[in-house]
Structure 1
Amino acid sequence: TGTPKGVASTHAGWTNRMQWMQAQYPLHPGDTVLHKTVLSFDDSAVEIFWPLIAGATVVMLPPGLHRDPRAIADWSSDHHIAALHFVPSMLTLFLDEITPTRQPLTHLRHVISSGEALRPDLVATFHDRLAHTPAHLHNQWGATEVSIDSTSHTCTTDDHDADVPLGRAIANNEVLLLDEHLNPVPDGIPGELYLGGVGLARGYLGDARKTAAAFLPHPEVPGTRLYRTGDRGIRRADGSLVFLGRADSQVKIRGIRIEPAEIEHTLRRHPGVNDAVVTKWEPVPGDQRLAAYITVRQPAALGDDELVADLTAHLGDRLPLYMIPSSITVLDRIPVNANGKTDHRALPEPKAAAEETATRASGAAEELVAGIWSEVLGRPELDVHANFFALGGHSLLATRIVSRLRTALSPDIPLALIFDNPTIRTMAEAVGHLLPASGPADGRTSR
């Protein structure tokens, strides 16, 4: 997963964060909180220490279920969970599981969303699906370098049709909107977001240069520092902040920070690639992916489709799965602006991964699986030998496919099915025995 940043957090920062959480969203000794986040992700600390300082109970989700929204929904119902924490992409899948027939989440009071920009349509879905519960949705934003989240906003129906605010700074923390000279910017003018206060870390362990670049002297309070987040924002007239995106090239895909430059470097190491650009692509709202554009060396040793397949394998051998682009498009040249820099706005719509046309689904099992894949991936025709991940699939889309298979065939189908059987044909072979003799019931093939 790369080299750890080594953020030297302080006990004071984390204590302040947890005490603020408890004061703002009180938990009681009879409450339970679900711990479902892997320990290497900083948000896991909230799921552990917030309930413990309140005398509440931490319920440990069994290993391997943290990416399974149905399991999270089941455990939340069965254990009367009072608070949950999600990145928005996982919240989307969790809400998909909240149906009228499910046992209601009558104890759920607080759902915290952080790690990605929270979309207005997701807020509306939350209020619709959990209308009969006491649950409130809180949008939080910050960084590990400032004891995770430093701002908070409780969502209302006003957030259904506009950018969801980041909110205001939590107690004893500070958020500033500054220009490139570290001067405050007026309301309504974009600037870069800086964080400070008691939550600020000491820096990066053993890396004075990186610390000096990210932790800058406070322009208004001598002897103190601010953390440069690299995020851009704007302040509304009411004082709330709105996220505008990254100031640098770093992107977030499903809550994971990714440096496109690292993927570009790996692509350029392929003997057939001359240059490469990687950017974030959102083919439909909420479905964030990586898209790569390349130019080839002359003369090209492979055809475009063969080269894309070879590059996907090349990346798979060198990078974690979440860093492999969902599409690779071959260009004659990379577009540049007047300054000679890559013009991302001039890049064409990403080209979908190459699809073979020789082998289509045959038989009830393959047709069922192919129909579900087409719906989830948004691709009308698929080859039964095509790899799910090469087609742009990722772990969150995998849960959608498994959820639909469970509805169509059996609730006991494991999430690992798609990782063990990543093609339509192999998946159909794995679930074929669950198919009724007359085929799937009407209306259950891809819902």
Structure 2
Amino acid sequence: SMYLLPPGWEKDPALMTEAFVNEGVTTAHFIPAMANSFLDQVEMETEEKRTSLAKTLKRVFAGGEALAPQTAARFARSLPETAVIHGYGPTEATVDAAFFRYDHEKDRERMRLPIGKPVPGARLYILDSEKAVQPIGVAGELYIAGTGVARGYLNRPELTKERFLDDPFYPGERMYQTGDLARWLPDGTVEWLGRTDGQVKIRGYRIEPGEVEAVLRQIDGVREAAVVARTEGEETALYAYIEGQDQQTVRTELGKRLPAYMMPSSFIEMREWPVTPSGKLDRKALPAPGGAAERRAYTAPRTITEMKLAKLWE
């Protein structure tokens, strides 16, 4: 059976936890940001309520955005008997096209959680610009084929033609071009790497903001992170939004793990994140740099000489 939360309860973790216990909810689906709020509440509950919740909540699906390994690890610590499944799939492929089940012992040190293997009936292709299959470990664009692929966009034939292509491996069938970068891992799972249109060029270097986000989430204490590129005039810079750790610590730790040209120009501490109606992070609504949350803007080396000086001081 299905239990539907009353309107608005999804924004109140205390009410949500109460409902889960009272109704004996066994399976839940969270957007990652909502999962962290839920875990905050779980960690504040009495031991008795946590025990009750742990007995009933058998599995949690997380999707809509990439699930950070730290969030999955929080589930493993607070609700060790609850299975955590990382899901992937756009609406154009009937939402879920791949799943990955988190194993705390094996996966807690990963920089990213894989999106896993295709669900029954789905096929995943990772192709280059010529639609040739990419080898294991090599990034390419992700395509989805199989029974879940939609017929197209309603009343938008041109966009349908652009995104829903003939499947070169199964004549007569179609595949959906996701616009996502991914690669096959040696264990047969797929790792999501970001968007094909997400790359930016800063001071001559091509940078994928998703790569910086992944490293940020590896820093102790960082619960959530987002990195966006903003262009003012002819200058493009990266801005990092973080929760759970102070920006000076994050800047220092990030400097140990990334080359100088990938360092964000500013770090902005967040307490609440803007979200879309569907619960995903609304990147366009993130506060502009220069507010009270921003302190001591960092300027990355801009010339060879500055890079050499920075390296010496490191």
Say whether the fold is shared (TM-score over 0.5): yes
What SS does structure 2 have at the residue aligned with 1:137?
A: strand
Q: Could you tell me which residue of structure 2 aligns to residue 101 of structure 1?
A: 46
TM-score by length of 2: 0.66
**Separation (CA, whole Å) in 2 of partners of 1:146 and 1:159:** 27
What SS does structure 1 have at the residue aligned with 2:71?
A: helix
**Separation (CA, whole Å) in 2 of partners of 1:177 and 1:145:** 17
8 Å CA contact 1:142, 1:149 repeated in 2: yes
Confirm whether residue 139 of structure 1 aligns to residue 125 of structure 2.
no
Which residue of 89, 96, 119 maps to 2:33? 89
Which residue of 273, 282, 286 maps to 1:394? 273
Which residue of 98, 122, 133 maps to 1:173? 122
8 Å CA contact 2:224, 2:244 repeated in 1: no
Alpha-carbon spacing, 1:160–1:108, altered in 2? closer, same or farther (3 Å) = same
Q: Which has more radius of gyration?
A: 1
8 Å CA contact 2:71, 2:223 repeated in 1: no
Q: Could you tell me which residue of structure 2 aligns to residue 72 of structure 1?
A: 16
Alpha-carbon spacing, 1:83–1:349, altered in 2? closer, same or farther (3 Å) = closer
8 Å CA contact 1:377, 1:392 repeated in 2: no
TM-score by length of 1: 0.48
The amino acid of 2:46's aligned partner reads: T
User: 1:293: how far off?
Assistant: 3.8
Could you give the per-residue CA deviations for residues 142-199 of structure 1, whole angstroms, max 9, x where no partner exists?
1100110101111102111112111111111111111111111111111111001010
**Separation (CA, whole Å) in 1 of partners of 2:39 and 2:63:** 16
8 Å CA contact 1:121, 1:161 repeated in 2: no
Alpha-carbon spacing, 1:199–1:109, altered in 2? closer, same or farther (3 Å) = same
Confirm whether residue 121 of structure 1 aligns to residue 121 of structure 2.
no
Confirm whether residue 208 of structure 1 aligns to residue 163 of structure 2.
no
8 Å CA contact 1:123, 1:159 repeated in 2: no
Q: Could you tell me which residue of structure 1 aligns to residue 232 of structure 2?
A: 294
Confirm whether residue 58 of structure 1 aligns to residue 2 of structure 2.
yes
- Unpaired runs of 5+ residues, structure 1, are 1-56, 251-278, 296-332, 336-346, 353-374, 381-390, 397-447
Q: Could you tell me which residue of structure 2 aligns to residue 234 of structure 1?
A: 183
User: 1:288: how far off?
Assistant: 2.6
- Unpaired runs of 5+ residues, structure 2, are 200-208, 217-221, 249-269, 276-314
Alpha-carbon spacing, 1:349–1:200, altered in 2? closer, same or farther (3 Å) = closer
User: 1:232: how far off?
Assistant: 0.8
Could you give the per-residue CA deviations for residues 395-420 of structure 1, whole angstroms, max 9, x where no partner exists?
57xxxxxxxxxxxxxxxxxxxxxxxx
**Separation (CA, whole Å) in 2 of partners of 1:229 and 1:215:** 9
The amino acid of 1:234's aligned partner reads: R
**Separation (CA, whole Å) in 1 of partners of 2:238 and 2:181:** 25
**Separation (CA, whole Å) in 2 of partners of 1:190 and 1:291:** 22
What SS does structure 2 have at the residue aligned with 1:81?
A: coil
**Separation (CA, whole Å) in 2 of partners of 1:293 and 1:212:** 32
Q: Could you tell me which residue of structure 1 aligns to residue 281 of structure 2?
A: none
Which residue of 98, 113, 116 maps to 1:151? 98
8 Å CA contact 1:151, 1:167 repeated in 2: yes
8 Å CA contact 1:377, 1:393 repeated in 2: no
User: 1:285: how far off?
Assistant: 5.1
The amino acid of 1:144's aligned partner reads: T
User: 1:379: how far off?
Assistant: 8.0
Alpha-carbon spacing, 1:239–1:107, altered in 2? closer, same or farther (3 Å) = same
Corresponding pairs, count: 233
Alpha-carbon spacing, 1:219–1:348, altered in 2? closer, same or farther (3 Å) = closer
Q: Could you tell me which residue of structure 2 aligns to residue 365 of structure 1?
A: none
8 Å CA contact 2:229, 2:238 repeated in 1: no
**Separation (CA, whole Å) in 1 of partners of 2:186 and 2:247:** 43
8 Å CA contact 2:88, 2:115 repeated in 1: yes
**Separation (CA, whole Å) in 2 of partners of 1:180 and 1:186:** 14
**Separation (CA, whole Å) in 2 of partners of 1:379 and 1:334:** 23
User: 1:93: how far off?
Assistant: 1.2
